[in-house]
């Protein structure tokens, strides 16, 4: 392909990624507002609706990667576009199901509308995951000598969509007909269809080099299969409420079959990347909601919409991924870039943990430091995987991203919740034993049992000293847990430094040329 054709293909992929992030942010904001009102949702059903647009994302990235080289990138692109159209249609039908209905007929109408929106969100999640499944290998193939640079620029599309979505949702915050807020997703969807439909899609770098399908599977190997299949089956088990025994049996069967088929552990470097992707995803995605929540109170006190926080932090990522990634990669290795990012993320999280009671300016300054640190994590990790494991093609590249997405929901976010609750409980126990005994309950987590503050019992505390102790404990839970989360980028930093020493002992970090590897 010509350089012009390559760039047109790239920008089409970029707009497709914008579509995924606009879909994400518009749904999250509507779930917290008008969806709850229109469909009569409690907190549990709201969480289920948010999850319906997220868990299919991670699953489809991984599963689609096994077949995407067979079905082709263009068919995958058309499938993702169809998902957006179906989602919009089902959401519009959900709106029509409840609006204009009153009285005794309203509960049944709300149930019909919720069902349409729920299943439409699952279809949306599949489309979003499919976008990730084809754009990453396309860019890694087209720009195979500058993978890390161009994957960083590509993944500026995600925060670009968040910025656009945030501005749209702020501008339409008083709009009661949310079909407009949601339906704008069709603008970037149609745009990427028009940009890509006439393009000639490349054969993957793996196929061009004559690397067979089985060799691709061997690159992932039994270890990659264990983590990937394990997370997929665990997520499905949570959604459909399978017993844990069934999850373990299905995971064992899937991993056993894959290990027998490949007879390979997988590339050791890929195993390291898979392990470190889980704390990385938790650091980047798992803490984002917390930082927004920390700044929400001072933003509202200043008379500003809290969504501007998301616009601001996302804009930092857009600029850095687009403008800074190339020059930084030209001056240091991707591993050095990741190590520097980890240092900044640690500093940012520790700074945020010290901002309790601080001004909006102080919190923004700390969030800026954290935002700079996390900007390069995700795309640079994909770049390292693409450069060091090229025989794995779309499978290893996208499995790494899918593992990150699923790990946040299954492991990372619950662990952050545990850190917050356990920190708050310890603070309360030290401050007021009487209130501690009255409001705490026993809870269970993957790592064991612990005591947590029960919100319903906490509301029954009426004396001033008890309320003050609870407020201080809640603040300690939020800010103190941020300091403990810094252990994730700390672990990442140690790993990146170890990898840098390893590559230095072998003459320095160099991308693997597929023709030489094959």
125: tokens are: 């999640």
> How far is the C-alpha of 230 from the C-alpha of 465, rounded, in Å?
47
How far, in Å, CA of 513 to CA of 518, rounded? 9
Question: Are the CB atoms for 408 and 282 separated by under 8 Å?
Answer: yes
pLDDT of residue 471: 86
pLDDT (0 to 100) of residue 74 = 94
Cα distances (Å, whole numbers) of residue 48 to 28, 41, 43, 182, 415: 12, 10, 9, 18, 19
Distance CA 165, CA 310 (A): 10
- pLDDT < 50 stretches in the chain: 516-517
Residue 269 is predicted with a pLDDT of 95
For residues 394 and 65, the answer to whether their CB atoms sit within 8 Å is yes
pLDDT of res. 292: 63
pLDDT value of position 479: 80
**pLDDT at 1 (0 to 100):** 52
377, 154 in Cβ contact below 8 A? Answer: no
Per the structure block, which two tokens stand in for 102? 């009153």
Structure token pair of residue 231: 């997370």
Give the chain's end-to-end CA distance (angstroms, integer).
23
Any idea what DSSP says for residue 103? G
Using alpha carbons, list the distances in angstroms from residue 456 to 48, 285, 438, 452, 462: 21, 29, 11, 12, 13
pLDDT at residue 238, rounded to an integer: 84
Per the CB < 8 A criterion, the answer to whether 333 and 511 are in contact is: no
User: Which pLDDT score is estimated for 86?
Assistant: 97
pLDDT recorded at residue 85: 97
Residue 515 confidence (pLDDT): 67
Q: What is the pTM of this model?
A: 0.89
Predicted confidence at residue 289, as pLDDT, reads: 60
Going along the chain from its start, the domains and CATH numbers come out as 1-203 (1.20.1250.20), 418-487 (no CATH)
pLDDT at residue 33, rounded to an integer: 79
Q: What is the pLDDT of residue 157?
A: 95
Residue 34: what pLDDT? 85
């Amino acid at each position: 392909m010509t350089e012009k054709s390559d760039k047109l293909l790239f920008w089409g992929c970029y707009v497709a990624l914008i579509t995924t992030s606009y879909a994400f942010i518009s749904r999250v904001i509507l779930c917290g507002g008008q969806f709850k009102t229109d469909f009569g949702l409690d907190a549990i059903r709201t969480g289920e609706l948010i999850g319906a647009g997220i868990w299919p994302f991670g699953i489809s990235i991984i599963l689609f990667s096994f077949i995407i080289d067979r079905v082709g990138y263009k068919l995958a692109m058309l499938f993702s576009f169809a998902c957006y159209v179906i989602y919009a249609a089902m959401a519009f039908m959900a709106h029509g199901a409840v609006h204009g209905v009153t009285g005794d007929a309203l509960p049944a109408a709300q149930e019909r509308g919720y069902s349409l929106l729920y299943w439409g969100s699952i279809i949306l999640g599949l489309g979003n995951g499919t976008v990730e499944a084809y754009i990453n290998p396309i860019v890694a193939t087209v720009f195979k000598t500058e993978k890390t640079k161009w994957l960083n620029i590509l993944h500026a599309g995600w925060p670009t969509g968040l910025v656009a979505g945030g501005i749209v949702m702020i501008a339409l915050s008083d709009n009661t007909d949310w079909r407009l807020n949601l339906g704008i997703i069709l603008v970037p969807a149609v745009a990427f269809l028009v940009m890509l439909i006439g393009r000639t899609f490349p054969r993957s770098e793996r196929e061009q080099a004559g690397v067979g399908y089985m060799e691709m599977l061997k690159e992932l190997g039994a270890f990659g299969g264990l983590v990937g299949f394990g997370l997929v089956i665990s997520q499905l088990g949570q959604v459909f409420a399978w017993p844990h025994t069934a999850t373990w049996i299905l995971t064992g069967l899937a991993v056993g079959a894959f290990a027998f088929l490949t007879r390979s552990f997988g590339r050791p470097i890929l195993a390291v990347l898979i392990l470190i992707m889980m704390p990385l995803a938790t650091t980047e995605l798992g803490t984002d909601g917390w930082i927004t929540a920390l700044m929400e109170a001072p933003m509202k006190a200043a008379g500003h919409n809290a969504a501007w926080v998301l616009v601001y932090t996302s804009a930092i990522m857009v600029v850095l991924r687009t403008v800074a990634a190339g020059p930084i990669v030209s001056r240091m290795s991707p591993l050095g870039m990741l190590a520097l990012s980890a240092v900044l993320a640690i500093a940012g999280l520790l700074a945020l943990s010290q901002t309790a009671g601080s001004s909006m300016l102080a919190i923004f300054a700390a969030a800026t430091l954290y935002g700079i640190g996390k900007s390069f994590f995700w795309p640079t990790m994909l770049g390292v995987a693409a450069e060091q494991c090229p025989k794995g093609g779309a499978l290893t590249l996208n499995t790494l991203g899918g593992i990150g997405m699923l790990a946040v929901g299954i492991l990372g976010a619950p662990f952050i919740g545990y850190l917050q609750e356990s920190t708050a409980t310890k603070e309360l126990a030290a401050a007021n034993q009487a209130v501690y005994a009255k409001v705490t309950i026993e809870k269970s987590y993957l790592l064991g049992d612990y005591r947590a503050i029960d919100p319903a019992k906490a509301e029954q505390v009426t004396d001033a000293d008890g309320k003050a102790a609870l407020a201080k404990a809640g603040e300690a839970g939020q800010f103190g847990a941020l300091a403990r989360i810094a252990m994730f980028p700390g672990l990442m930093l140690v790993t990146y430094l170890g990898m840098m020493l390893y590559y230095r002992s072998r003459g320095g970090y160099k991308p693997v040329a597929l023709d030489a590897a094959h």
